[in-house]
């Protein structure tokens, strides 16, 4: 039985992780990291702590659906304090320092980082790479939709999709990404990749990648209808990651894509 520690246990997906682990036959909840009181019921032997070292020492693998500040603390425990447990990280909105910490941690322990733990999105990333390369002259536009409470924009998933599109075309995403248009901006440039965001209601997550040309276009859609799509994907990733060597992995590696 794999002992799982959760960072972000008071969040929406963290709560679902607790529920899903309660009925899993191969993994169980062993520890929760909290900044305030944990209101959700957990097994009586579960370690509940605000100390990242205690959390890491109390599990076989950590699943992190939190905020950048919490993930930074987790990564520092690995990089600076010698933590040794594998990490499954789904937090988005990292700054450059946090991104560098992620890379440093992956030199010491297995780290699976995915901006979206959905298995369907993993396949979508592959399809976007294939389509963007094959349809090199088509205009690429990405639209993501999420609930009103999402704090980062564009979503990490949308940026990952854009990365796959740009890489397939040998482009630097930072040089070609456009995430807002207003006023007389002129004609669309050839290599431009649009990444736009919509926020409202309780939308779990919807991503559309469109490739548009004169006379035809193709659109690839993924819609998440339940948040435990992400929690179940993360648990599957954690089970796979515990037997891997140190390195930086993606959800595609877990699926063998």
Q: Catalytic residues, which ones?
A: 146, 150
- The angle subtended at Cα 163 by Cα 244 and Cα 218, nearest 5°, is 115
Distance CA 63, CA 7 (A): 6
SS3 (DSSP) at 1: coil
Segments of the chain assigned E as strands = 2-7, 27-33, 47-49, 61-64, 87-89, 110-113, 139-146, 177-178, 193-199, 205-213, 216-224, 247-249
Contact 60, 34 (CB under 8 A): no
Closest CA to 118 of 12, 25, 33, 207: 207
SS3 (DSSP) at 204: coil
DSSP per-residue letters across 25-57 = SSEEEEEEE-SS---S---TT-EEES-HHHHHH
Beta bridge partners of 139: 212
Distance CA 205, CA 203 (A): 6
DSSP per-residue letters across 129-150 = HHHHHHTTTSEEEEEEEE-TT-
């Amino acid at each position: 039985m794999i002992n799982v520690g959760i960072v972000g246990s008071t969040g929406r997906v963290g709560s679902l992780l607790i529920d899903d682990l309660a009925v899993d036959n191969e993994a169980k909840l062993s520890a929760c990291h909290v900044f305030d009181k944990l209101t959700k019921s957990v097994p009586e032997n579960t370690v509940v702590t605000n100390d990242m070292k205690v959390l890491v020492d109390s599990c076989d693998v950590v699943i992190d659906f939190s905020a950048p500040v919490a993930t930074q603390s987790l990564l520092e425990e690995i990089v600076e304090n010698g933590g040794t447990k594998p990490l499954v990280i789904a937090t988005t909105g990292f700054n450059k320092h946090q991104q560098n910490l992620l890379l440093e941690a992956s030199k010491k322990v297995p780290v699976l980082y995915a901006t979206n733990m959905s298995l369907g999105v993993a396949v979508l990333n592959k399809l976007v790479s294939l389509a963007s390369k094959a349809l090199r002259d088509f205009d690429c536009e990405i639209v993501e939709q999420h609930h009103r409470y999402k704090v980062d924009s564009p979503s990490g998933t949308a940026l990952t999709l854009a990365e796959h599109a740009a890489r397939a075309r040998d482009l630097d995403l930072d040089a070609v990404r456009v995430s807002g248009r207003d006023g007389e901006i002129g004609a669309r440039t050839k290599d431009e990749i649009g990444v736009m965001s919509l926020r409202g209601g309780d939308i779990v997550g919807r991503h559309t990648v469109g490739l548009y040309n004169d006379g035809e276009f193709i659109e690839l859609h993924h819609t998440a209808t339940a948040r435990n799509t992400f929690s179940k994907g993360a648990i599957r990733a954690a089970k796979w990651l515990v037997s891997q060597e140190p390195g930086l992995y993606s959800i595609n590696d877990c699926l063998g894509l």
